[in-house]
Amino acid sequence: MSPVARHGAVALGALVVAVALALTLAPRASDAVALVVVAAVAAAAGLVGSLPTVRTEHPALARAMLTVILVDAVVFATAFLSVPTDFNLATGAGMAIVLLGLSFLTGASGQISIGNGAFMGVGAFATAIWANHHATTPIVVTLLISVVVGALFGLLLGLPATRLRGPYLAGMTLAFAVAFPAILSSFSSWTGGDSGLQLPNTATAPHWLVGLFHAGTPTLTTDTLWLTDIVMVATGVAFFLMANLFASRTGRAMRLVRDNDVAAELVGVPLPRTRVIAFVISAAYAALGGALWTLLNNSVSPATYGFALSITILAVIVIGGIGTISGAIIGGVVYAYSTNVIAWFVAHTGLNPQGNLASQLNGIIFGALLIVTMMFSPMGIAGTYRHLRARRAHARERE
Amino acid sequence: MIGVDRLTVTFGAVRALREVTLRAETGQITAVLGANGAGKTTLLRTISGLVTPRSGTVSLDERVLTRLKPEEIARLGVGHVPEGRGVIAEFTVEENLRLGAIVAKVPLEEGLAQQYEAFPVLGQRRKQHAAKLSGGERQMLAMARALIARPSVLLLDEPSLGLAPLVTAQLMATVAELCATSDLTVVLVEQNASSALRIAHHAVVLNVGSVVADASAAEVAADERLRQYYLGMVE
């Protein structure tokens, strides 16, 4: 059987199973139709993406198809999950975008930023401020504006980055993270001061989506579902672009700058410009994550974007695995579910922490997890997996 | 042609190069010899713009390179293979070669094919990580990476460092062949004077930052005084 035929058979089989599942699970005919469409999209993308010629000759197309499958599958799943679960997943996805930007900055170009929580806040407030002045702007445009604003802030702080290295650059971004809440409160006529901003109107699901899914409380469920899916699609686009960047000329140039800046200069890579670009991209990704959080919460509060968030971002990316794409996803999931897992742990072990301990338990366990990661798997979960796989491959080669 | 005119480089109070003047002719191998600390590496680093001279000029054909940025000089066709090679161990051979063509807008597939033809061992190991290469293979990879950008000048910094005599001889033969089959200008910095003199057309001897000899390779090789005092070639 030729590879094409084999992939075709696998895709067809998956489609049949998905259709059967849809028909048994979906309570109404229109739901079933929607699910069949979703399954068909995934199957078609899977088929195209797995063609041998596509895989070797057009890696970008293969990555695009993989993105379509993953986003499609997540969107499919969110239709069946509860509202809080959807909300949690979308929050984690927004965080994953921020982590990807930071991971790229550190893993690909070797710079460090402690200020990404503040860049996230830039995007979050840009979305809220814009929406309050121009309520009719489509969501996509608002998101793009927020990303651009984030990138401009990144440029502003990234220019000195061409002269600063290691601890000094970290110190500068740290200063931005610390100063950010103060900046917000001194522009309170724009940012709403301590109380933050509400969005003027909720992003409502389009009629066809409301018509398709009628589980639970109709409006709330479909609106949260709609927002979740917007976040998931944005996440898919962000990851797709970054995967291409990692594999591109620019991505390779950045890794060369990280590993050996002299060699980079000798092959003609301009160091300052490369470093600034990496910094700007990382800030833009952080801003996108923050903008999505604002959409998701329908409001923004300065308390969210304090210094602690920047530290949490660093902790989560280290646990997930720095410099890898999967590490950012793992980090996002860890962020979204750490509170739930800790609550479950407390409920099931019979521990009943009181007072101060109870309120700080989250931070304590997070800190302990970070220390354990640094001690036993400094490359994070994704890095350790990769290392184990490489070792297995090496062992096979020797046999 | 690379022209160096009265080049002086200082690091704090230390003079690494004092009024160094030399010419590396097109299509020839010019060996720069001398002991540790003679200023050989500094000379190459100044030519490629990594070090800014205190005074004096470097020119490529008629164009003055002094004060251009390293990446600009690289784009003008000066390929520099640094000491220690600058190969990225975690990249495959092919990924390393692609790095050489990051900025130079050259047809990549054609360039890869050319380098695999010039260095067959790289073709056999194209998918392997550079970490698995031997020292000689790494040096070839570093050279191929510089050559893929089609430079008119190749600066080689101690290519024989850490290599066995037989591997060094093979490497030198490759350099000689490269130069013979193209118009490449090669500046070869070496501590290993005898193997460099075997392939070089011209030789310059540096001592503590100053030129002490500038003559044809044959003349330098025949000069008993130079051999004994500066090149450490005692029979």
Q: Tell me the domain boundaries of chain B.
A: 2-83+149-229
Maximum Cα interatomic distance, chain B, rounded to a whole number of Å? 50
Residue A128: per-residue pLDDT: 93
The reply to whether residue B102 touches residue A252, judged by beta carbons under 8 angstroms, is yes
For residue B190, pLDDT beyond 70:
yes
Mean pLDDT on B93-114:
84
Asked if B191 and B206 touch (Cβ cutoff 8 Å), the reply is: no
pLDDT band at A30 (very low <50, low <70, confident <90, very high): low
Residue A221: per-residue pLDDT: 60
Please give the backbone phi and psi of residue A358, each rounded to the nearest 5 degrees, phi first: -60, -40
Asked if B31 and B204 touch (Cβ cutoff 8 Å), the reply is: yes
DSSP-derived pairing of the beta strands B202-207 and B210-216:
antiparallel
Q: Which residues touch A272 (CB under 8 Å, ≥6 apart)?
A: A162
Give SS3 for A307: helix
Residue A328: per-residue pLDDT: 92
DSSP codes of every residue in A179-230 = HHHHHHHHTHHHH-GGG-EE-SS--PPPHHHHHH---SSHHHHHHHHHHHHH
Asked if B125 and B133 touch (Cβ cutoff 8 Å), the reply is: yes
pLDDT band at A399 (very low <50, low <70, confident <90, very high): low
pLDDT band at A287 (very low <50, low <70, confident <90, very high): very high
Q: Shortest Cα distance from A244 to chain B (angstroms)?
A: 15
Per CB-CB distance under 8 Å, the chain B contacts of A262 are 50, 82, 86
**Whole-number Å distance between alpha carbons of A356 and B97:** 58
Name the β-bridge partners of B4: B22, B58
Name the β-bridge partners of B78: B153
Quick one: tokens of B127?
Answer: 């998918």
Residue A42: per-residue pLDDT: 73
Q: Shortest Cα distance from B3 to chain A (angstroms)?
A: 19
For residue B125, pLDDT beyond 60:
yes
**Whole-number Å distance between alpha carbons of B169 and B199:** 10
**Whole-number Å distance between alpha carbons of B24 and B2:** 5
For residue A130, the number of C-alpha atoms closer than 13 Å in the C-beta half-sphere is 23
Residue B102 touches chain A, beta carbons under 8 Å: yes
Per CB-CB distance under 8 Å, the chain B contacts of A255 are 88, 91
The angle that helices A307-320 and A83-109 make with each other, rounded to 10 degrees, is: 80
Quick one: tokens of B25?
Answer: 């002719």
Residue A3: per-residue pLDDT: 59
The reply to whether residue B71 touches residue A252, judged by beta carbons under 8 angstroms, is no
Residue, of A284 and B166, whose pLDDT is higher: A284
Question: What's the distance, CA B144 to chain centroid?
Answer: 12
Site from A267, A271, A274 to mutate, B interface, most B CB atoms within 10 angstroms: A267
Per CB-CB distance under 8 Å, the chain B contacts of A59 are none
Residue A34: per-residue pLDDT: 65
Residue A107: per-residue pLDDT: 78
Global pTM reads 0.80
Residue B99 touches chain A, beta carbons under 8 Å: yes
Element (H, E) at A139: helix A139-161
Residue A31: per-residue pLDDT: 61
Residue B104 touches chain A, beta carbons under 8 Å: yes
Quick one: tokens of A254?
Answer: 């950045």
The angle that helices A29-50 and A3-25 make with each other, rounded to 10 degrees, is: 160
Quick one: tokens of A111?
Answer: 């710079």
b/e map A48-71, b = 16+ CB within 10 Å: bbbbeebeeeeeeebbbbbbbbbb
Asked if A125 and A291 touch (Cβ cutoff 8 Å), the reply is: no
Q: Shortest Cα distance from B85 to chain A (angstroms)?
A: 8
For residue A215, pLDDT beyond 50:
no
Among A151, A108, A141, A93, smallest CA distance to A283 is for A151
Kindly report each contact of residues A62-71 with a partner whose C-beta sits within 8 Å and lies 24 or more positions away, as own/partner: A63/A240, A63/A243, A63/A244, A64/A240, A67/A236, A67/A237, A67/A239, A67/A240, A67/A243, A68/A41, A68/A42, A68/A236, A69/A42, A69/A45, A70/A236, A71/A232, A71/A233, A71/A235, A71/A236
Q: Where are the alpha helices (DSSP H) in chain B?
A: 40-47, 70-75, 93-100, 108-118, 120-124, 135-147, 165-180, 193-199, 217-222, 224-229
If you average pLDDT over every residue of chain B, what do you get? 89
Mean pLDDT on A34-51:
72
Residue B149 touches chain A, beta carbons under 8 Å: yes
Name the β-bridge partners of B210: B207
Mean pLDDT on B147-169:
90
Assign residue B173 a region: left if phi > 0, alpha if psi is -120 to 50, beta otherwise? alpha
Residue B58 touches chain A, beta carbons under 8 Å: no
Please give the backbone phi and psi of residue B187, each rounded to the nearest 5 degrees, phi first: -110, 115
Nearest chain A residue (CA) to B82: A263
Nearest chain B residue (CA) to A271: B71
The reply to whether residue A268 touches residue B74, judged by beta carbons under 8 angstroms, is yes
Mean pLDDT on B90-112:
83
CATH entry 3.40.50.300 includes domain B2-83+149-229: yes
pLDDT digits (tens, 9 = 90+) for A229-286: 899 999 999 999 998 998 888 888 888 888 888 888 888 888 888 888 999 999 999 9
**Whole-number Å distance between alpha carbons of B159 and B191:** 10
For residue A347, pLDDT beyond 80:
no
Nearest chain A residue (CA) to B75: A268
Task: Give the rounded percent of residues in chain A with a pLDDT score beyond 90.
Answer: 22
Residue A63: per-residue pLDDT: 84
- From B48, B99, B146, residue closest to A256, measured CB to CB: B99
Element (H, E) at B154: strand B153-157
For residue A185, the number of C-alpha atoms closer than 13 Å in the C-beta half-sphere is 10
**Whole-number Å distance between alpha carbons of A320 and A107:** 13
The reply to whether residue B88 touches residue A265, judged by beta carbons under 8 angstroms, is no
**Whole-number Å distance between alpha carbons of A101 and A327:** 12
Range in A83-87, B121-125, B209-213 with the lowest mean pLDDT? A83-87
For residue B151, pLDDT beyond 70:
yes
pLDDT digits (tens, 9 = 90+) for B18-32: 999 999 999 999 999
Q: What part of A 244-303 touches B (C-beta under 8 Å)? A: 249, 252-253, 255-256, 259-260, 262-263, 265-271
The reply to whether residue B71 touches residue A256, judged by beta carbons under 8 angstroms, is no
- From A259, A262, A265, residue closest to B88, measured CB to CB: A259
Residue A57 touches chain B, beta carbons under 8 Å: no
Q: Shortest Cα distance from A288 to chain B (angstroms)?
A: 29
Per CB-CB distance under 8 Å, the chain A contacts of B100 are 267
If you average pLDDT over every residue of chain A, what do you get? 82
Residue A322: per-residue pLDDT: 85
**Whole-number Å distance between alpha carbons of A364 and A339:** 12
Q: Which residues touch A349 (CB under 8 Å, ≥6 apart)?
A: none
Quick one: tokens of B133?
Answer: 């290469």
pLDDT digits (tens, 9 = 90+) for A120-177: 999 999 999 999 988 888 888 999 999 999 999 999 988 876 777 767 878 888 999 9
- DSSP for residue B129: B
The angle that helices B93-100 and A249-259 make with each other, rounded to 10 degrees, is: 100
Per CB-CB distance under 8 Å, the chain B contacts of A324 are none
Residue B200: per-residue pLDDT: 94
Residue A285: per-residue pLDDT: 97
Query: What are the distances in angstroms from CA A253 to CA A63, A156, A159, A379, B199?
Result: 21, 23, 19, 22, 34
Range in A43-57, A211-225, A348-362 with the lowest mean pLDDT? A211-225
Residue B141 touches chain A, beta carbons under 8 Å: no
For residue A27, pLDDT beyond 70:
no
Q: Which residues touch A259 (CB under 8 Å, ≥6 apart)?
A: A110, B88, B90
For residue A76, pLDDT beyond 90:
no
